[in-house]
Chain A
């Protein structure tokens, strides 16, 4: 197989696999860029008469900020400090101590004593994030629930930005915020600064342009409780409860929005092991949600048709991981075995195809830096590490997806998803 096939060439399995592994990420990158730019021009670009700061809302109903905590003694103080600085005038904070074994219990009680806005629930035993959020929903009278991870710092204006959508449109069930990376001490931290801008931010904007999102960000999202009630709250047996609840809400024809002004500063893994575990969990969760909803009849109803492209895109991405693996394995084995010419892969993405791929990376980074320059001052500082990250992202995605599919197939059904304390990077 001497050269890359053109889009019209699908004559042999190898041609198809090589074409699939090359063209899918390439064209998806342009689709994301187009969708993200449309979103920016239609919804995000500030108008000349727009005053600085968050929008003025016609009402400020009570919002309950739910913060599930499992062994979060080291981070929860800063998280609550940021929440208490919120400019939204009517909120309470509900901290859920989900069976922590460290000093979380004492710290949460101290925080509750310091501020009447802070309430605390202690669980007798660890139950997992989905049960923590669901139980907390029962323990507040608020109709609006903002869910924040215990190691995330919510920008003081974020609640107002997210509530704007829920107040203005009764069909909105959830609004997801814009996670930004806090820890940038290591290569992996800096890489993820690029990833959250050039991949996740673009995808969220492009999906909103289409009208449906794959998922809210579990680390920062605001929900309408009535919609959650209709959807049956969060599922206990799914590793990524955020993906699952997003699908449930949208299949019930609720709208899920993305608000880039709702910033939330998050800690990410800074070790290869930590990053791998996180990505494997995301990939497994995505496949779990997909297989769960494909088994449910309502996914195939005509009324659910707007979710079909989201499902098809995810199936295609899982297929792409295996196609890429197939090509890479044949390329590697070809170094030791003499294949027939049609199965012999001399190089991966050489020639002009490589230049096109590299140029696309540059374009993607350029578009994302332009769109994100309002939220993350001087993001180009990490350009040295970001510039090739889209390639690294696809490789990581491939490995995690390939490992996740068998892990999901052999996972015991209905097994409760529980906490595993993640790697939060290097901190002083």
Chain B
């Protein structure tokens, strides 16, 4: 596997790792959750733990795993699971390979696909000249109707305050 590439040192690191800022309650919840899930994790491994126990001399595990044939169940499971996994994974890889071979080199949607500016303006029920002006402006103030459609647009000059009567409010 490749080494990680260096990425733009002038920017500050995006990673925030400050566990010291946690409250006591958060630490407690984290500790409990970690303990619970590690217990579940260990529980799942019980048969193997039993096997290990047998290896260091505990005869009970030997009785269950070898004498009573516990390993046979494992072999059966592994055989059945492997078959299903190979069928599922093989289908996916086969499907992907078929598509690459069948369509990989075919030119698709090669026609001009850019929607004209006028069509976009019409879709939003706005005039194309007005839209072109808005698209060139650096600051805009936009009002919407009940349906979320653009109902009014003002171009704001640099430093100009927003219209007082229409101060931004939050609808929740």
User: Residues of A with Cβ closer than 8 Å to B?
Assistant: 6-7, 23, 26-27, 30-31, 33-35, 38, 42, 46, 52-53, 70-71, 78, 81-82, 85, 97, 99-101, 105, 109, 112-113, 116, 118-128, 130-131, 134-135, 137-141, 143, 153, 155-157, 169-171, 180, 182-188, 206, 209-211, 224-227, 229-230, 236, 263, 265, 267, 270-272, 349-358, 361, 370, 373-377, 385, 387-388, 391-392, 416, 418, 420, 425-428
Closest to A265 in B: B14
A30 to B80, CA, bound (A): 14
Residues of B within 8 A of A127 (CB): 144, 148
A137 to B89, CA, bound (A): 40
Known: A211-B99, A388-B41. 10 other contacts (CB 8 A): A85-B11, A119-B139, A122-B168, A125-B169, A143-B114, A156-B7, A230-B115, A270-B26, A352-B77, A358-B41
Could you pull out 28 A-B pairs where Cβ atoms are within 8 angstroms? A6-B76, A97-B168, A99-B170, A119-B137, A121-B141, A122-B140, A122-B142, A123-B142, A125-B143, A127-B148, A139-B142, A141-B132, A170-B108, A170-B113, A182-B14, A186-B19, A187-B29, A187-B33, A209-B92, A211-B96, A225-B120, A263-B7, A271-B26, A352-B70, A355-B47, A358-B41, A377-B4, A416-B148
Q: How many inter-chain contacts with C-beta < 8 Å in the A-B complex?
A: 266
A6, A227, A391, A426: the one within 8 Å of B80 (CB) = A6
Structural contact, B113 and A101, CB atoms closer than 8 A: no
Residues of B within 8 A of A187 (CB): 29-30, 33-34
Residues of A within 8 A of B84 (CB): 7, 23, 27
Q: Taking the nearest CB of chain A, how far is it from the CB of B108, in angstroms?
A: 5
Instruction: Give the 10 A-B residue pairs with the shortest CB-CB distance, closest first.
Output: A34-B89, A265-B14, A187-B30, A354-B44, A358-B44, A171-B109, A131-B148, A388-B41, A226-B115, A124-B143
Closest to B109 in A: A171
Residues of B within 8 A of A352 (CB): 47, 70, 73-74, 77
Structural contact, B80 and A185, CB atoms closer than 8 A: no
Closest to B19 in A: A185
A414 to B168, CA, bound (A): 24
Residues of B within 8 A of A97 (CB): 168
Q: Taking the nearest CB of chain A, how far is it from the CB of B49, in angstroms?
A: 10
Name B115-148 residues within 8 Å CB distance of A. Answer: 115, 117, 119-121, 123-124, 126, 131-132, 134-135, 137-144, 148
State the interface size on chain B (CB cutoff 8 A).
88
Residues of A within 8 A of B150 (CB): 135, 138
A387 to B85, CA, bound (A): 22
A70, A355, A418, most chain B CB atoms within 10 A: A355
Q: Taking the nearest CB of chain B, how far is it from the CB of A33, in angstroms?
A: 8
Residues of A within 8 A of B166 (CB): 124
Structural contact, B170 and A100, CB atoms closer than 8 A: yes
Judge if B66 is at the interface, Cβ distance under 8 Å. Answer: no
Judge if B68 is at the interface, Cβ distance under 8 Å. Answer: no
Structural contact, A34 and B88, CB atoms closer than 8 A: yes
Structural contact, A170 and B162, CB atoms closer than 8 A: no
Judge if B24 is at the interface, Cβ distance under 8 Å. Answer: no
Taking A138-B131, A350-B46, A374-B1 as contacts, is the C-beta distance between A34 and B93 under 8 angstroms? yes
Q: Mark B145-168, 1 if CB is under 8 A from A, else 0.
A: 000101000001011001000101
Closest to A46 in B: B2
Q: Taking the nearest CB of chain B, how far is it from the CB of A171, in angstroms?
A: 4
Residues of A within 8 A of B48 (CB): 355
A100, A182, A391: the one within 8 Å of B37 (CB) = A391
A351 to B69, CA, bound (A): 13
Residues of A within 8 A of B26 (CB): 186, 270-271
Residues of B within 8 A of A46 (CB): 2
Q: Taking the nearest CB of chain B, how far is it from the CB of A382, in angstroms?
A: 10
Taking A187-B33, A210-B95 as contacts, is the C-beta distance between A355 and B44 under 8 angstroms? yes
Judge if B45 is at the interface, Cβ distance under 8 Å. Answer: yes
Structural contact, A388 and B16, CB atoms closer than 8 A: no
Judge if B101 is at the interface, Cβ distance under 8 Å. Answer: no
A427 to B111, CA, bound (A): 49
Residues of A within 8 A of B96 (CB): 35, 38, 42, 209-211
Closest to A139 in B: B134
Q: Taking the nearest CB of chain B, how far is it from the CB of A104, in angstroms?
A: 9
Structural contact, A122 and B162, CB atoms closer than 8 A: yes
Closest to A392 in B: B37
Structural contact, B120 and A125, CB atoms closer than 8 A: no
Residues of A within 8 A of B43 (CB): 350, 354
Closest to A30 in B: B85
A236 to B149, CA, bound (A): 11
Structural contact, B92 and A52, CB atoms closer than 8 A: no
Closest to A347 in B: B43
Structural contact, A101 and B169, CB atoms closer than 8 A: yes
Structural contact, A112 and B171, CB atoms closer than 8 A: no
A7, A27, A126: the one within 8 Å of B170 (CB) = A126
